[in-house]
């Protein structure tokens, strides 16, 4: 059946709203079911999942289901929430207010899903703290609009030549850090494919080193940043961003016989942030705490979802 203009408009709003609930396509090493694509496959709706840019793909999935497989629309919504609760975890949980807003959007399409209106379920969800002021709410809305744009920017960088990609990545990192209020030093100094810079976060200065190369970063590169940070002020810290990741041997060698003054971030971590899996500031905070407590320079961002500090 053809959708009305009102339904089409609501689908667009719903696609925007659900953007942060799940990744579009799970990372190759992650649980493939915890994604919009995975849900589409499990419910037999894969013909409506177009892939590509995430927001239009979500809209196509919702529109195709509503117009051509209407009986599966409610199960689709339930699975998005169910798997979204797992994906968002404790560090960036789905809130009561989000489910209430989702219910209103679904109601505009002529549905009311009992499971999502259940009072016991709603009471069990965390609630936005009333002390959050208008500035904080406005910041959250700005981030919600900025992250999809940055995700598209990062995806487009893979097609560029190394030198051009370096300058584009410089702009990307500056925008990403500043979007979370981290006062990125701009412009970064570009040396080949390596970008150096710094950010301010919670009273600490972090020196940034970035590598975008096909090989994994090993112990030698980690030691170089460790030495660079150690040669600055005692309160300096380091963040090593390796788009391709770090070798296990290098991480193990780096952790032996010395305290770490840096944390490591991979391209997979960046995609997780941009997909709405965890705020960047929360990731840095948890990685830094684990580095201090356990001496681990690198902790996968997905592992951070299961860490809860009071």
Q: How confident is the model at residue 193 (pLDDT cuts 50, 70, 90)?
A: very low
Cα gap 277→93, rounded to integer Å: 9
Q: Which of 64-68, 133-137, 243-247 has the lowest mean pLDDT?
A: 133-137
Give the pLDDT band of residue 27 (cuts 50, 70, 90). confident
Query: Dihedral, CA atoms, 67, 68, 73, 76, nearest 10 degrees?
Result: -120
Q: Compute the average pLDDT of residues 29-58.
A: 93
Q: Are 189 and 197 in contact (CB under 8 A)?
A: yes
pLDDT recorded at residue 211 = 87
Lowest mean pLDDT among 11-15, 27-31, 91-95: 27-31
Instruction: Tell me the mean pLDDT in the region 70-93.
Output: 92
Quote the CA–CA distance of 47 and 31 in Å, as a whole number.
21
Q: What percent of the chain has pLDDT over 70?
A: 92
Domain architecture of the chain: domains with CATH: 5-123 (no CATH), 136-304 (3.40.1350.10)
Nearest 5°: the CA angle 289, 292, 296 is 95
CA distance 280 to 173: 12
Cα–Cα distance between 183 and 191 in angstroms, integer? 21
Lowest mean pLDDT among 129-138, 199-208, 270-279, 287-296: 129-138
DSSP string, 258-274: S---EEEEEHHHHHHHH
* Structure-derived torsion over alpha carbons of residues 17, 18, 19, 22, reported in degrees to the nearest 10: 160
Does the pLDDT at position 302 exceed 90?
no
Rounded mean pLDDT of 287-298? 90
d(CA 22, CA 57): 12
Residue reference for tokens 């965390």: 126
- Residues paired with 199 in a beta bridge: 206
Q: Which residues pair with 128 in a beta bridge?
A: none
The 10 Å Cβ neighbour count of residue 93 is: 13
Judged against a pLDDT cut of 50, whether residue 220 lies above it is answered with yes
């Amino acid at each position: 059946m053809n959708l009305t203009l009102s339904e089409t408009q609501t689908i667009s709003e719903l696609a925007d709203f659900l953007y942060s609930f799940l990744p579009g396509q799970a990372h190759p090493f992650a649980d493939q079911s915890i994604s919009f694509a995975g849900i589409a496959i499990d419910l037999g709706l894969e013909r409506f999942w177009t892939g590509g840019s995430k927001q239009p793909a979500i809209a196509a999935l919702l529109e195709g289901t509503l117009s051509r497989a209407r009986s599966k629309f409610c199960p689709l919504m339930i699975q998005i929430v169910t798997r979204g609760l797992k994906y968002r975890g404790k560090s960036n949980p789905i809130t009561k207010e989000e489910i209430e807003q989702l219910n209103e959007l679904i109601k505009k399409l002529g549905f009311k899903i009992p499971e999502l209106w259940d009072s016991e379920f709603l009471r069990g969800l965390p609630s936005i703290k009333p002390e959050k002021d208008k500035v904080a709410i406005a910041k959250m809305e700005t981030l919600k609009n900025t992250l999809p744009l940055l995700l598209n920017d990062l995806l487009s960088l893979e097609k560029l030549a190394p030198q051009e990609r370096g300058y584009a990545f410089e702009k990307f990192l500056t925008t990403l850090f500043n979007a979370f209020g981290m006062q990125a030093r701009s412009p970064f100094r570009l040396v080949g494919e390596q970008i150096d810079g710094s950010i301010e976060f919670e009273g600490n200065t972090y020196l940034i080193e970035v590598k975008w190369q096909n090989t994994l970063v090993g112990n030698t590169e980690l030691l170089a940043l460790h030495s660079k940070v150690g040669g600055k002020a005692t309160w300096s810290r380091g963040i090593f961003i390796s788009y391709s990741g770090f070798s296990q041997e290098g991480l193990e060698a780096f952790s032996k016989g010395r305290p770490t003054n840096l944390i490591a971030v991979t391209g997979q971590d960046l995609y997780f942030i941009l997909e709405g899996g965890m705020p960047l500031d929360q990731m840095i905070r948890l990685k830094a705490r684990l580095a201090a407590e356990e001496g681990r320079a690198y902790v996968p961002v997905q592992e951070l979802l299961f860490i809860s500090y009071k």
